Each structure stands twice: as structure tokens, then as C-alpha cells.
Structure 1
Amino acid sequence: MSIQGHILEVRVEFGVNFKQSGAYVCIIYNNEVYQTSIAKDGGTSPRFHENIRIPLVDGLRELSIVVRRRGYFAEEVIATGKVQLDEVLREGKDHSLWPLQYQCRRTGATRSGGQIKLAMEYERPRVTATPCPQAPAAGSGFHPHGRPDFYPSTEFPPPTPPPRYVHPSFHSHPDYHYSYHAPPSPQPPSAPGSSAYSGYYYGHCRQG
């Protein structure tokens, strides 16, 4: 996880068994120097109780500590040390005593330069869940990846009913007259020789 630009809160609490009194603390990070004021009390175990805000940089997880003292002619380095930031970045806080050392000028040997108490706190960024995009309405033609919707909606409007068919009745025919004639009733067939024609012919013949 990136720490670029996030703020590390460092409270310089106190020192323990410094070589000399009247010291102040410099914290070096990313070529920037952050320093406290000169301790007025405590002697070789001075109290500082000062807060420093340090912008973090990716890939740089170490502070350099330099304890200095102002002499009559020049400033003197009385102790140095390294502070690792892994725990505070992982847990969000680290209140520890860190060892210091100094180098003897005559022999060049490294000796203990006391300890320094730092209260470091780091607010880890909160990871917010990204809401899932809502599914588009069916048949809208929208695709979350910019592709057309090849599967249109299967919902169709109800079919339009066909026009009602009315069979033309004889009452609506324009040439039909509304007069009704009953059909003639059928006549029973006449016996042979008994028809009107046959009687007429027979009488006519007899008269002749």
C-alpha cells in the first residue's frame, strides 16, 4: 500500500543517558531536517515533549536521529541512531525507546550514546469498497464495457387484435327488396290421363 504524502506524527518525548546536557534532537527524513528546541531541564536525560509532522515517501521507511549540542565554538554531535518505521506503518503506532551511539574521536570506536523515546503514530488510509455498477435495464442497449447489447429484451407489447369480421347478411344487400313471397306449395302428381290437358283433349276429340 502506498504511503506517499501521508503524515507521520512523531512526538519526541525524552532522552536517556546522553553524553552531555543542553542537547537538541534532529530527525532527518528524505533529505529534510526536523529539529526540536534545546532542552532546558533534565541534564543528560532531557525532556522535549515536542511534536513533529513528517510527510512520508514511498520506499523510505527509516528515520535518522542526530543529537547535537551547541558548544562555544561549534556544534557537536553527541549521538546518532536509526529508527525503523515498519511497525508504526503496520500497526498504526509505535512508542519505543531507540538506542543511540556515538563515535569516539580519539579511537574511532563506537560507544553507546544513550536512548531516545519517540511516540510515533500513523493513520492508515481507509479502504472503501467500490460499489458495483447496477445492471442496466433490459433492452436499454447499454453495456458496462461499451459494447452493444446483443441480447435485446424479450418483452414485447401485446399483439393488436384483428378487426372484427362481420359476415354480410342479406339485410344489408342494396338490391334486396324487403318483400317476402312464400314459395308455392308443391302439388301432388296427377294420375295418368287425368290431367287438364288430357281431359280437354279428350272432350275436344269427342265433340269432333
Structure 2
Amino acid sequence: MSMSTSGIQGHQLQITVVACYNLRDTEWISRQDPYVCIKYANATYSTRTCVDGNRNPTFGETFNITLVEGYQKLSVSVWNKNVLMPNYLIGTGKIPLDNALLNGHDDTAWPLQYKSQRHAGEIRLTMRYHGPNVSTNSCIILLISLQLPAILKFSVVHRAQVGYLRRSASCLPSPDCAPNFRPRDEYPPPPHPASYPPPPHPAPYPPPVYHPPPSPYNNPAAYRPSSSYPDYIASQLYDCASFLNIFQLGAQLHKSRV
């Protein structure tokens, strides 16, 4: 054991299982459901099952591990969850803790292997450690890396505000260049508006002359009046007498033939 990583007994190591990449596929038809197991000393930690995660599952789960003196590595294994059959091992790996214990932070994708050192994919772990072995420079670098987005944002906003104030100050006129305005009393009064003659009265219009429409009859006196009533009765009586004479004549002819 190196002197730089001694004295870790009882301290906490924060481990986040981020994701796995390009895992070995153990399914023939369906998609595999991976999960991760972490072993350190005598403790075991397991993530949830990423259903249908197949070859690139994501987890984002964090565990706080109590460090034990003399244990400088993690054992990780990735499994495929099955319901009717035993779980299949996808790959395993050994993760050293030296970088995290010395620098206080480590974010690396570690290789996984399966039987005969064959490549079985990668697992990404993020580890944070705040124990006594972390160097001062590493703590400063870690703090700056975590606060860098806020620092950059403050710097950009501060520069924008300073530039705006400078532009606003440059736009203000100096006292020497201020325009010399005359008092109001020195301006001549406005001229009176010219008087316009009143409009003439409208001329009265003569009353309209309406002529009666022409008669549709050219000469009404030319038409003869109709016959009077006694003449009409006399003509009807004459017609009846003629009819009776004809009827009597017909009756006489009929008797003579009989």
C-alpha cells in the first residue's frame, strides 16, 4: 500500500453508475435487461434493472461506500436479468481507486471482459472522495471544475453590464457641448391669424313649376255617348216580337202537314 492512499479507513467514497456502452448481447430474439453489481470488501451494491436497455443501458444511480484500509479496487459485474431462466453474465471488470483517492474525483469508462479476456463492453463510473489524502491542488481543481459554469456565466454578465454602462456614458453630452437655448421671452410672438370675409349667403332658388301630365286620350269629345236606356228596352221588345212571329209560323206549318 502506498503512503499516499493510506488512512482511508471509515471514509466515504461516492460512486455513481452512469451507463454501459456496447455490451455483449446475450439474447437471441428479445432485448436484454442489464443491471450492475458492485463488490467492495464485504459489501455488495446492485442497481435497478434497465428494462430493454440492451447494449447501451443507462442507470444514473449513486452509492456511498465506506472505505476499508487495504482495499484499493472495486469489482463490477454486469448481468442480464431473466424471468424463467438464470441471469446471464455479460462481463466483469476491476476498477482501481487510486485516481479517485489521490485527486478526489474520477470519471472514466472502464472496459469489461468475459471469459478468456474477450471484450464485453464498457461501464462508466463517476467517483468522488473528500478524505484526508486528497491534495490541496486537486481540491482546488475539483472546486473550480464544479463551479466553472457559474464563474463563466458571472463573467459574461459582468462584462455585458460594464460594456452597457460605458456605452451609455459615452452617449451622454458633456457640459461644454450642451446647446445654448434662448429664454422663452426672446422669441417673437406668433402672428395673428388673417381674418377671412364671411361666406356669402346662398341665393334663393325659385319654386319649382310642376305641369300636369298629358292626357292619354287625344280628344275625349270625339267619342259618341252610349245609347240611352229606353232605346235599349225598345230594341229588346222588338227582338221578342220577331221571335214570337216566327214561332207561330212554325206551329201553323206543322199543323198543315199533319
Provide the TM-score with structure 1 as the length reference.
Answer: 0.56
Q: Answer whether contact 1:92 1:121 (CA < 8 A) is retained.
A: yes
> What one-letter code is carried by the residue in structure 2 that aligns with 1:11?
T
What does residue 53 of structure 1 align with? 64
**Match status 1:30 vs 2:41:** yes
Which consecutive residues of structure 1, in runs of 5 or more, have no partner in the other structure?
104-108, 128-208
Equivalent residues in 2 for 1:121-200 (5 A)? 121-125=128-132
Deviations 1:33-75 (A, max 9, x none): 1010001354211000000111000111000011111223111
Q: Answer whether contact 1:8 1:53 (CA < 8 A) is retained.
A: yes
Q: Answer whether contact 2:7 2:132 (CA < 8 A) is retained.
A: no
Which consecutive residues of structure 2, in runs of 5 or more, have no partner in the other structure?
1-5, 26-31, 135-258
Q: Is the partner of 1:88 in helix, strand or coil? A: helix
Q: Answer whether contact 1:2 1:58 (CA < 8 A) is retained.
A: yes
**Match status 1:12 vs 2:24:** no
**Match status 1:115 vs 2:122:** yes
What does residue 86 of structure 2 align with? 74
Structure having the larger proportion of residues in strand: 1
> What one-letter code is carried by the residue in structure 1 that aligns with 2:9?
Q
State percent identity of aligned pairs.
40
Q: Answer whether contact 1:22 1:38 (CA < 8 A) is retained.
A: yes
**Match status 1:85 vs 2:97:** yes
C-alpha spacing 1:41/1:47, structure 2 compared with 1 (3 Å) = farther
> What one-letter code is carried by the residue in structure 1 that aligns with 2:61?
E
4+ residue runs over 4 A deviation: none
> What one-letter code is carried by the residue in structure 1 that aligns with 2:117?
T
Q: Is the partner of 1:25 in helix, strand or coil? A: strand
Distance 1:126 1:12 in 2: 23
Distance 2:118 2:125 in 1: 21
Q: Which has the larger radius of gyration?
A: 2
Question: How far off is 1:93 after superposition?
Answer: 0.5
**Match status 1:100 vs 2:112:** yes
> What one-letter code is carried by the residue in structure 1 that aligns with 2:10?
G
CA RMSD of aligned residues (A): 1.7
> What one-letter code is carried by the residue in structure 2 that aligns with 1:45?
N
Structure having the larger proportion of residues in helix: 2
Question: How far off is 1:126 after superposition?
Answer: 8.2
Distance 1:114 1:30 in 2: 24
